[in-house]
Each structure stands twice: as C-alpha cells, then as structure tokens.
Chains A and B, each alone.
Chain A
Amino acid sequence: DQQVKQNSPSLSVQEGRISILNCDYTNSMFDYFLWYKKYPAEGPTFLISISSIKDKNEDGRFTVFLNKSAKHLSLHIVPSQPGDSAVYFCAATYTDKLIFGTGTRLQVFP
C-alpha cells in the first residue's frame, strides 16, 4: 500500500514559468512533510518542509502547500530555472517513520 503517492512521473515546464509538483497521502497520522531534490547519480537533498499545523511554507522560489482535508501536498517553484531539472520526492513522517513517494522528474527547458 503506497501511503505517499506522486501520480505524475514527469513534468516539463518552460523556464520562467511555475512548476507545480503534487503529492497525495493516505495516512492522517502524518505530521510532517518534506520535499527532496535529486540530481542524477546523487542522493536526494533536502529542499523544504512543512509541519501539519501549517498550510504554507515559503523559502525563496520554493513554496510548499498543505491541504490536510484533501491529504494533498504540492511544491511550487517560481520562476522555474533549468537548474531545477531533477527528480523531486515528497516524504511524510510520523513518529519515527519516513515514507517517500516515488518521485516526479521535472524538466525545465529554455
């Protein structure tokens, strides 16, 4: 049972536009959510996180939105840059477990 789902395996966006990556979860016990970015042949690196008591967290070009009633999480990147091209993983945690989605490959083209 996939508790954290990223239903879009890939996304292509033009440079300067907004990239929106989505993530759905099923477990209402999750209380903290994270986004990771992964370049080829590297491990994922932490990008941004949000606590379940908030509905928005912003850090520069990156904003994460949380809709608890819909059990939906999204990452907005604006403006998108070619260097943002990578695979993005969302993850959710409660107690001591960290569960990842399967990732979405973002390609930002000029």
Chain B
Amino acid sequence: GAVVSQHPSRVICKSGTSVKIECRSLDFQATTMFWYRQFPKQSLMLMATSNEGSKATYEQGVEKDKFLINHASLTLSTLTVTSAHPEDSSFYICSASYSYNEKLFFGSGTQLSVL
C-alpha cells in the first residue's frame, strides 16, 4: 500500500527557534496533503490543507504566519513551526491522498517538545 513518511518523529527545541517537519509520499504523487495537530486524548485537529503548487488553506484559528506550509512538489510537503513556544508542543501528523476520491494515508507523526 501507499506509504507516507514523516520526519523527524520527535524533536526537542528551545523556545524561539523554528522547526521544520517533512512529509513525503514514497510511492505515489500526492496532489493533496493535510496537516493535523493532536493533543493527548483529544481528537485530531486539521490545521491546513496543502495542494501542490498553490498556497495552503488554513483552518480557522490557525496562524498561517506561524505554521508555514510548503508543498513544492507532488511528493513533499513541509510544515515549519516558526518561533516555537512551549504551547506549540504537540503531536503533528500529516496525511496524503493522490486523487480526489482516494483514501488517505497517514504519516507516523512528529512529537514536538518546546522547552
């Protein structure tokens, strides 16, 4: 089946630094990628939808200047958390699909801890 690789799986950084998370579709071209954030025991929250070659669509309440999303190719989308603060500590997960009506494939997630 289709594989989505997410890297890194865990990152610890100091407050004020920026962190980049990569999401790659390994064996298919992902026209759309989604970025989510999840707090412990809470439901997944969709942050933004990323379409290759165009600007990401952010959900209400998500700061686009803080969470920069780039989907420069059909196999790679990146999420950059800029000037990270402790409240940004969370589990971030990406997912990808390769056509309008296909199932979604998820990355393994990134646990971000901001000190």
B103 and A102 within 8 A (CB) = yes
Q: Which of A38, A40, A41, A95 has the most CB of B within 10 A?
A: A41
Confirm or deny: A65 has a beta carbon within 8 angstroms of a beta carbon on chain B.
no
State the interface size on chain A (CB cutoff 8 A).
Answer: 24
What's the Cα separation between A44 and B96 when bound, in Å? Answer: 11
Confirm or deny: A63 has a beta carbon within 8 angstroms of a beta carbon on chain B.
no
Interface residues of A in 33-87 (CB under 8 A from B): 34, 36, 38, 40-46, 49, 87
> In the complex, what's the smallest C-beta–C-beta distance from A107 to chain B, in angstroms?
12
Which B residues are closer than 8 A to A by beta carbons?
Answer: 1, 32, 34, 36, 38, 40-41, 43-44, 46, 49, 91, 93, 95, 97, 100-101, 103-106, 109, 111
B109 and A44 within 8 A (CB) = no
Which A residues are closer than 8 A to B by beta carbons?
Answer: 32, 34, 36, 38, 40-46, 49, 87, 89, 91, 93, 95-98, 100, 102-103, 105
Instruction: For A43, list chain B residues within 8 Å (CB).
Output: 34, 36, 46, 49, 95, 104
Q: A41-B32, A43-B46, A43-B95 are in contact. Are A95 and B40 (CB under 8 A)?
A: yes
> In the complex, what's the smallest C-beta–C-beta distance from A36 to chain B, in angstroms?
7
Instruction: With CB as the reference atom, state the residue of chain B lying closest to A32.
Output: B41
| Sample (5) of A-B pairs whose CB atoms are under 8 Å apart | A44-B44, A93-B40, A95-B40, A98-B91, A103-B103
What's the Cα separation between A40 and B40 when bound, in Å? Answer: 27
